[in-house]
């Protein structure tokens, strides 16, 4: 019998490790501890369930297909729907015209960012004069973009003045078309008293049409031809007299800035642009990709 050097327990002569503490037994002199070699025999095999041989066939696709995805009941899940842009104004729709509300709303937008709007107006006027009116339309487009950002509770930036979003050419053509109409009627006014009366009747309508066409290009809803067509049907429709009053008020207010040595236009012009943006939003609405229906 061998005795464990660690715990002193007696162990068999054939054991390599102590059965009590597991310490390795010291081999006797002239030999070493015997090692048990177990032969694979049925009596030492545990009970195992019979297994079938592996089928070497195709195992990539099981016999059953996956069913459709689980969709929660409608009372627990309502998917968000994107609000479509409002449809364009047609002749069958009555528009509430309120020049006082539009001017007041425009003044509030202008007063929130008056310093930035004034600096942008001065810069736009300087570049328009230097380019002989070539950049007038695109720069007005940038001023409208600044006004719309204020309407959407966003912070306008000076870089918005040059953010034309691919609308440079339509804005240029729009300013050219309305300028040709304006100066043609002005040139004919000196010919006879009839054209003088025509200019009084048409100039305010041309002015307000231009102020509503540029915002439509800014919002990017349609091309120039469709924008002029939509605004023309609105202005020269059933409410042409009321639109003439709006155009006359905007025209007189924007021109009144010339009284203060011309400096006042840098207040009245951005004010009118903001008022036109408010008028456009009340008629056509604003495209806001963040709005959702629940």
The answer to the question of residue 35 being in a domain is no
The verdict on 2 and 121 lying in the same domain is no
Mean pLDDT per 10-residue run, the chain (294 residues)?
72 69 61 52 52 53 58 52 48 73 94 93 94 93 94 92 91 95 85 79 94 89 88 92 95 81 82 95 74 35
Which single residue is written with the structure tokens 């979003």? 165
pTM above 0.85, yes or no: no
The verdict on 128 and 215 lying in the same domain is yes
The answer to the question of residue 73 being in a domain is no
Q: Give pLDDT, residue 137.
A: 94
The answer to the question of residue 133 being in a domain is yes
The verdict on 5 and 146 lying in the same domain is no
User: Within 161-239, where are the H helices?
Assistant: 168-189, 193-219, 224-235
| Alpha-carbon distances, residue 154 vs 109, 147, 213, 291 (angstroms) | 11, 10, 22, 14
Q: Give pLDDT, residue 71.
A: 61
CB-CB neighbours of 51 under 10 Å: 6
The verdict on 8 and 122 lying in the same domain is no
The verdict on 256 and 152 lying in the same domain is yes
The answer to the question of residue 228 being in a domain is yes
Q: What gap in Å lies between CA 165 and CA 168, rounded to an integer?
A: 8
The answer to the question of residue 250 being in a domain is yes
CB 124 within 8 Å of CB 144: no
The verdict on 11 and 108 lying in the same domain is no
**What's the number of domains the chain is made of?**
2
Q: Give pLDDT, residue 218.
A: 87
| Alpha-carbon distances, residue 252 vs 8, 14, 26, 137 (angstroms) | 116, 119, 116, 20
CA–centroid distance for 206 within its chain: 32
The answer to the question of residue 82 being in a domain is no
Query: What's the token pair of residue 17?
Result: 């490790």
Q: What gap in Å lies between CA 26 and CA 13, rounded to an integer?
A: 10
267-292: burial string, b at 16+ Cβ within 10 Å, e else: bbbbbbbbbbbbbbbbbbebeeeeee
Q: Give pLDDT, residue 124.
A: 94
Domain of residue 18, residue span: 1-27
The answer to the question of residue 175 being in a domain is yes
Which single residue is written with the structure tokens 């540029």? 214
The answer to the question of residue 262 being in a domain is yes
The verdict on 138 and 4 lying in the same domain is no
């Amino acid at each position: 019998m061998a005795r464990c050097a660690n715990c002193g327990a007696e162990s068999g002569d054939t054991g390599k490790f102590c059965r009590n503490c597991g310490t390795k037994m010291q081999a006797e002199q002239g030999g070493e501890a015997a090692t048990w070699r177990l032969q694979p025999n049925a009596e030492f095999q545990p009970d195992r369930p019979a297994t079938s041989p592996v089928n070497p066939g195709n195992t990539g696709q099981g016999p059953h297909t996956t069913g459709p995805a689980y969709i929660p009941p409608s009372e627990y899940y309502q998917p968000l729907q994107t609000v479509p842009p409002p449809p364009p104004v047609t002749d069958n729709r009555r528009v509430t015209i309120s020049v006082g509300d539009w001017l007041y709303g425009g003044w509030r937008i202008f007063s929130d960012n008056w310093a930035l709007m004034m600096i942008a107006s001065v810069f736009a006027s300087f570049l328009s004069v230097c380019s002989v009116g070539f950049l007038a339309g695109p720069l007005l487009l940038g001023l409208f973009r600044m006004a719309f950002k204020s309407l959407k509770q966003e912070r306008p930036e000076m870089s918005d003045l040059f953010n034309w979003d691919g609308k440079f050419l339509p804005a240029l053509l729009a300013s050219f078309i309305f300028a040709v109409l304006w100066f043609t009627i002005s040139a004919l006014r000196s010919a006879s008293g009839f054209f003088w009366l025509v200019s009084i009747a048409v100039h305010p309508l041309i002015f307000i049409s231009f102020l509503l066409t540029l915002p439509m290009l800014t919002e990017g809803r349609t091309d120039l031809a469709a924008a002029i067509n939509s605004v023309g049907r609105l202005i020269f429709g059933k409410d042409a007299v009321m639109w003439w009053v709006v155009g006359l008020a905007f025209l007189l207010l924007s021109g009144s800035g010339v009284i203060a040595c011309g400096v006042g236009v840098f207040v009245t012009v951005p004010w009118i642009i903001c008022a036109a943006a408010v008028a456009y939003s009340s008629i056509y609405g604003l495209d806001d990709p963040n709005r959702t229906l629940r």
